[in-house]
Structure 1
């Protein structure tokens, strides 16, 4: 069984599913996709990107200069896609199990408060 992924890692990988993004773009997309529940800080993000790159889950796609500032774009690797799929399946299994347990409680007439 795979180790549970940290929530920021989950949202970083999720933010990279559809396209390569630079750091600020990842921060924005993670906030949008998580309905604002995840607010990545730059230091946390870049440390995580370094770790994810070392693990082979993301790679640098390209660099560009905008208004005199360097932007580094990251993209998901095939390994990153597989890791995200595995985590998504793990979370779905957990949610299914919890939902089943909650339904059993309701069926037994247990108080929910």
Structure 2
């Protein structure tokens, strides 16, 4: 990691940023996207999700945006990934790719498995 790289993200944080990579979403839609994109292996509960969103927001990685909810639910808060969030996700994914490459050289996983 270089001094220019953003700090490491939690697993939940990375999944939230990935879910927001398609565009703004409200909390429940983020939970659904994470579950779908992980084939059900990651299930974020409300407490974990909103704690993670608060952490990401405080770090400037996501922002809350005004949004007209299609379902007309004024209580829904929408979030979007920021440019800093995209850089943080990219840095985290590069770190994970490095680990995958090391695991392949040690024959802990086979080519094509990760």
For Structure 1 versus Structure 2, the TM-score category normalised by the shorter chain is 0.7 to 0.9
Q: Are 1:25 and 2:10 counterparts?
A: no
Which of these two proteins has the greater Rg computed from alpha carbons? 1
Listed one character per residue, the Cα deviations across residues 21-46 of structure 1 (whole Å, up to 9, x for unaligned) are 00000000001111111100111111
Question: What does residue 105 of structure 2 align with?
Answer: 100
Deviation at 1:64, TM superposition (A): 4.2
Higher strand share: 1
Where 2:47 maps in the other structure, the secondary structure is helix
Larger relative contact order (CA 8 Å, sep ≥ 6): 2
Return the TM-score normalized by structure 1.
0.83
Return the TM-score normalized by structure 2.
0.82
Question: What does residue 79 of structure 1 align with?
Answer: 84
> Matched residues in 2 for 1:50 and 1:72: separation?
12
> Matched residues in 2 for 1:25 and 1:75: separation?
12
Structure 1 residues 90, 76: closer, same or farther in 2, change over 3 A? same
Q: Are 1:70 and 2:66 counterparts?
A: no
Structure 1 residues 93, 68: closer, same or farther in 2, change over 3 A? closer
Residue 9 (structure 1) aligned to one of 9, 13, 22: 13
Q: Are 1:35 and 2:42 counterparts?
A: no
- Over the residues paired in the alignment, what is the CA RMSD in angstroms? 1.9
